[in-house]
Structure formats: structure tokens, C-alpha cells
Amino acid sequence: MYPFRWFSPRVAARGIAIAAGAVHVWFLSNMQSALNPAGIQASRILDLWHLTLAVCCVVFAAILLACLIAMIRTPRANRATPADLSVAGRREPRVRFWVAAATGVSTLLLVGLLLADVLTDRALSRLPVDQALRIDMTGYQWWWQARYLADGDTPGFTLANELHVPVGRPVVVSLKAADVIHTFWVPNLHGKKDMIPGRDATIEFRADKAGVYRGQCAEFCGYEHALMAFQVVADPPAQYEAWAARQRTPSAAPSEDIAMRGRDVFMGQDCARCHTVRGTDAHGTIGPDLTHVASRQFIAAGTLANNRGNLAGWIVDPRTLKPGTAMPPTRLAPDDLQALLTWMETLE
């Protein structure tokens, strides 16, 4: 049926899947990669990495060369050749010289790397933070809460699993852990910072390139550690101000009957006890703030793209999508579920 025996729809589908996976990996590698710095501090860390890699490569090549020379100069023998024990007591000043020289060079290289590490650390700590944007970020099992503090005369606001920052402006993030140890890590912007319960920490960074950068918890924190991600969106200053202005506003009152019904479903279920939606009577603090959930790229801490189908699956049975999550299943009649989804899509 097909001109080539090896070709079939299954083979074609597999090839498409592999290509799509490669594109996805490439996309994530740019979103979350220490080799693609988007800020001055990540660039400093990358410089240190390049220096360390170069030194290690040179040392590795020197060791391989020494082993190769030793193998070439080793006398050839067979099973009948008697053992030559005369070398046991022979002095070899030339060999001792090379061993001492190699030890000295290795010591100098290690001291040089230590000095470079110290200088990089000092450079990272000297980022000017005048007029910095300040954010309190708390890690939970397994999601992130970001509380933007008041910025001048403008009030703060709260969102989950996503940060927006203005390009070119320093950001100071205060880090807290609500339950176990987490680690804040956005490799495109900075290194890792541990979040230890009972101990507050801060991390400062500046995004110099507009883009979307993926952050991840980098400390094993339980069952769904691998599904605890967040996005950092670096916006041009004017675009960031427009986004922040929208985030400060409460949710808009629904204008359509189906959206009104969806809001009533939300308020009538346990949703309102766990989540906050500013502009309504929902003031729960157990789960993420949902005031502008429709404006976010992902739900469930970077696990699922934010679309109607994924949102429906998450509401009905979140533990099949993210086992171990604290959110319980919500059993709704189909009409009530569709109304709830319609209302949540208005929360932009």
C-alpha cells in the first residue's frame, strides 16, 4: 500500500511526536537554562562556570596525556619475562620533579578558582537595589505564593505561581517556607537560594532581557517536588505597569447569567473557604489567590497550561493530575461545572 515498507502512519506519528518533543525541550532549555543568562548576575555565574569548565578540561587533558606517555614508555613483557625489581630502590629525580610541578600547578589552579568564586560572590552581592521592586514569596507543598508589596503610593497584591518584573529594575524577593525546605531557582536570572522554615532569606536579581523564564524548586520537598514550578515574566516597564495596575483591581462582577451562576457555584462549594477572589466574599488563604487566575499561563504550579479543559480536569479530580496535592476533588453537575469555568475565564 505504501511505496516504502518502512513507512506507516504509526512511524510518521512517532516522528512527529519526537520532533514536537525536541521543540519542547529546546523551548524549555531557553526558558530554564543557566547557559542563557538574562541578567547581569546570571552572566557572572556563567563566566565562573566557563572558567571552571576550562580549568577542569585542561587538567583532564593533562592527566590523559600523562597516562598515555606512561603507557607508551612502559617496557613490553610477557608471562615468561622475569620481574624487574631494580626500579624499586632507584631514585628518579626527574619523575619527582614532574610530580611536584603538577602538584604545585594544581594548587595554584584551585586557589585561582577559589579566588574567582569569592570575587563572583562579591559581584553578585553588589547589585544596586535602590528603587527595587519588593516581593514576598512563600513556598508551599507544592505551589508558590507571591505577594507584591506596596510600590510607592500604589497598593500591593497577591498572586500565585507567576512573577512579572520590569526589565532593567532590580527586584528583591523575600523568601519563606511554610512547611518544608524549598529552594528558589531561576537559572536565567540568578543562582539558587534555600528557603528554610523559620528562617527568612532574600535574593536580588535584575532581568535585562524581556522574556519568560522558568523557575523551579531545586530542593526535594516531597511527593510532587518535580511539579513545583513558576514563571518569571520580564516585561518592558510600561507593559509591567499596565499588568500591575490590572492585578491591583478586584475581580469584575459577571454580566452574563451563566457567569453569575458560576460565581454562585464557587461561593456555594468549599472553593471559597480555600481561595481568595477579591471583589467577592471568598477570602480563603489555604490555596492560591484566584482573583486574576485567567491571566496566568499555567495552573497547578506550572503543571498544566491554563485552558478550559485542563481547568475542568483540575477542578473535578486534581489528584489524578498531581498526586499528593492538598486540593480535594469537587463533584459538580455538568451544567454547574461549565458555568463555573465560564465565570473563572472572566477573572482576568
Residue whose C-alpha is closest to residue 185's, from 225, 223, 157, 147: 225
| 284 in a structural domain | yes
State the cell numbers at 320.
Answer: 489524578
Crossing angle of helices 334-344/308-316, nearest 10°? 130
| 265 in a structural domain | yes
pLDDT, position 11: 45
HEC states along 93-130?
HHHHHHHHHHHHHHHHHHHHHHHHHHHHHHHHCCCCCC
User: Which residue is listed with cell 477542578?
Assistant: 315
* Residues contacting 161, CB < 8 A, separation 6+: 143, 144, 146, 229, 230, 231, 288, 296, 298, 299, 301, 302
Q: Are 144 and 228 in contact (CB under 8 A)?
A: yes
| 321 in a structural domain | yes
pLDDT, position 69: 87
Task: Output the DSSP codes for 117-163.
Answer: HHHHHHHHTT---TT-EEEEEEEETTEEEEEEPPBTTB--EEEESEE
Residue 228: what are its φ and ψ, rounded to 5°?
-125, 80
Q: Are 317 and 329 in contact (CB under 8 A)?
A: yes
| 246 in a structural domain | no
| 300 in a structural domain | yes
| 278 in a structural domain | yes
pLDDT, position 79: 78
Q: Are 278 and 250 in contact (CB under 8 A)?
A: yes
pLDDT in tens, the chain (348 residues): 444 444 455 545 445 544 444 444 444 556 788 899 999 999 999 999 999 999 999 999 999 998 998 888 777 777 777 777 776 677 778 878 888 888 899 999 999 999 999 999 998 888 888 889 999 999 999 999 999 998 888 899 999 999 999 999 999 999 999 999 999 999 999 999 999 999 989 999 999 999 999 999 999 999 899 999 999 999 999 999 999 999 999 988 888 899 999 999 999 888 888 999 999 998 988 999 999 999 999 999 988 999 999 999 999 999 988 988 888 998 889 999 999 999 999 998
pLDDT, position 298: 92
| 227 in a structural domain | no
Domain span at 273? 257-344
| 202 in a structural domain | no
User: Which residue is listed with cell 469555568?
Assistant: 341
User: Which residue is listed with cell 610477557?
Assistant: 78
Rounded distance between C-alpha atoms, residue 224 and residue 233, angstroms: 24
pLDDT, position 2: 43
Rounded distance between C-alpha atoms, residue 186 and residue 193, angstroms: 10
pLDDT, position 8: 52
pLDDT, position 198: 92
The count of domains in the chain is 1
CATH code, domain carrying 313: 2.60.40.420
User: Which residue is listed with cell 514563571?
Assistant: 231
Peptide bond just before 142 cis, omega within 30 deg: yes
Beta bridge partners of 241: none
pLDDT, position 348: 87
Strands (E), the chain: 133-140, 143-148, 157-160, 162-166, 170-177, 182-185, 192-195, 201-206, 211-217, 229-235, 298-299, 304-305
Report the predicted TM-score, pTM, of the whole model to 2 decimal places. 0.80
Write down the H helix ranges in 269-323: 271-274, 308-316, 318-321
pLDDT, position 29: 53
Q: Are 132 and 171 in contact (CB under 8 A)?
A: yes
